[in-house]
């Protein structure tokens, strides 16, 4: 049996090295745009014992976390968000991107292995990957043009993550029928392209989801209207799950989140 493990460990190691661009800094913009990128949303709640630690212990634990982010900067890109106050489910979440899911796991295993990590309750994890646009190529030219509207400049401090699962009927439809529904869905979003930024992850088989939808905005009233618009189109009837959980939070640098947790 020992031989078996040794061989497996060896090939795992080889594969890990191969899959990683060790030493090379990651191109953040490219990873946020490219298809074929793996995204993991790791959602955490600090446990009750954390707050009983001495302030010095908390401050030192926070440094460990920052060091882990630094250490993995060549293999993953990360974004951090504060949920505390706006969600009963968690305190914060990290969005991790890499060209291999294994890099996301290795990073998160290290985060969870810090002194702070040992006090983190991992309440949700969503896994997905980015892919080329599915239906847009078949849309009329005016919709395609509208979709190129750049979002308004300026900070979009709010984040909303909505996991989605489609029903069996949705998947049983022809590509054309689905395309027609997605066209109607897309029409409902056009009015909000300037104020709501959006990113899509495919999750079938990687999680109990079909999609992870990610939004950034400065105008939550616009976002509320956008979602009402999406609730009104026929495609909405095929959402077996939409949210549950809906994660509403604010984009905050790691330092700020860590500062809140070490007060």
Would you name the residues annotated as active-site residues?
A: 198
Could you tell me which stretch among 5-13, 57-65, 139-147, 183-191 binds its own copies (CB under 8 A)?
5-13
Q: Is 231 in the site for its own copies (CB under 8 A)?
A: yes
Q: Is 82 in the site for its own copies (CB under 8 A)?
A: yes
Residue nearer to its own copies on the CB measure, 88 or 176: 88
**Residue 76: closest CA among 26, 13, 36, 42:** 26
Q: How far is the CB of 145 from its own copies (least distance, A)?
A: 26
Q: How far is the CB of 5 from its own copies (least distance, A)?
A: 4
Could you tell me which stretch among 135-143, 144-152, 183-191, 247-255 binds its own copies (CB under 8 A)?
247-255
How many residues bind its own copies, per CB under 8 A? 94
Considering only residues 48 through 67, tell me which ones interact with its own copies, judged by CB under 8 A. Answer: 48-49, 51
Task: Give the span between the Cα atoms of 263 and 261, in whole angstroms.
Answer: 6
Task: Give the span between the Cα atoms of 71 and 89, in whole angstroms.
Answer: 28
Instruction: List helix spans (H) across the chain.
Output: 2-19, 28-33, 55-71, 101-112, 141-147, 168-172, 175-187, 220-231, 254-262
Could you tell me which stretch among 54-62, 140-148, 181-189, 232-240 binds its own copies (CB under 8 A)?
232-240
Residue nearer to its own copies on the CB measure, 63 or 125: 125
Q: Is 34 in the site for its own copies (CB under 8 A)?
A: no
Q: Is 27 in the site for its own copies (CB under 8 A)?
A: no
Could you tell me which stretch among 56-64, 137-145, 181-189, 221-229 binds its own copies (CB under 8 A)?
221-229
Q: Is 240 in the site for its own copies (CB under 8 A)?
A: no
Q: Is 12 in the site for its own copies (CB under 8 A)?
A: yes
Report angle CA 6, 100, 102 to the nearest 5 degrees: 45
**Residue 244 burial (10 A CB sphere; 0-12, 13-18, 19+):** exposed
Q: Is 1 in the site for its own copies (CB under 8 A)?
A: yes
> What length does the chain have?
263
Task: Give the span between the Cα atoms of 148 and 109, in whole angstroms.
Answer: 38
Considering only residues 134 through 193, tell me which ones interact with its own copies, judged by CB under 8 A. Answer: 154-155, 157-158, 160, 162, 166, 168-169, 171-172
Question: Residue 205 region, left (φ>0) first, then alpha (ψ -120 to 50), else beta?
Answer: left
Question: Residue 149 region, left (φ>0) first, then alpha (ψ -120 to 50), else beta?
Answer: beta
């Amino acid at each position: 049996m020992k031989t078996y493990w040794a061989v497996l460990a060896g090939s795992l190691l080889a594969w890990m090295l191969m899959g990683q661009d060790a030493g090379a800094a990651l191109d953040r913009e490219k990873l946020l745009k490219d298809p074929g990128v793996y995204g993991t949303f790791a959602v955490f709640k600090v446990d009750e014992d954390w707050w009983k630690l001495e302030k010095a212990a908390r401050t030192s634990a926070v440094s460990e976390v920052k060091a882990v982010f630094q250490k993995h900067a060549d293999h993953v890109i990360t974004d951090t968000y504060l949920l505390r106050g706006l969600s009963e489910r968690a305190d914060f979440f990290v969005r991790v991107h890499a060209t291999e899911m294994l890099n996301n796991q290795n990073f998160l295993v290290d985060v969870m292995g810090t002194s702070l990590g040992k006090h983190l309750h991992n309440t949700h994890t969503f896994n997905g990957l980015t892919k080329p646009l599915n239906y847009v190529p078949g849309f009329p030219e005016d919709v395609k043009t509208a979709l190129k509207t750049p979002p308004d400049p300026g900070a979009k401090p709010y984040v909303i993550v909505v996991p989605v699962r489609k029903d069996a009927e949705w998947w049983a439809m022809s590509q054309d029928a689905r395309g027609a529904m997605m066209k109607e869905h897309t029409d409902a979003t056009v009015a909000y392209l300037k104020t709501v930024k959006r990113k899509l992850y495919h999750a079938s088989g990687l999680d109990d989801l079909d999609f992870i939808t990610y939004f950034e905005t400065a105008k939550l009233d616009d976002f509320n209207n956008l979602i009402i618009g999406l609730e009104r189109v026929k495609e909405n009837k095929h959402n077996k799950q939409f949210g549950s959980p809906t994660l509403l939070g604010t984009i905050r640098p790691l330092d700020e989140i860590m500062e809140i947790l070490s007060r």
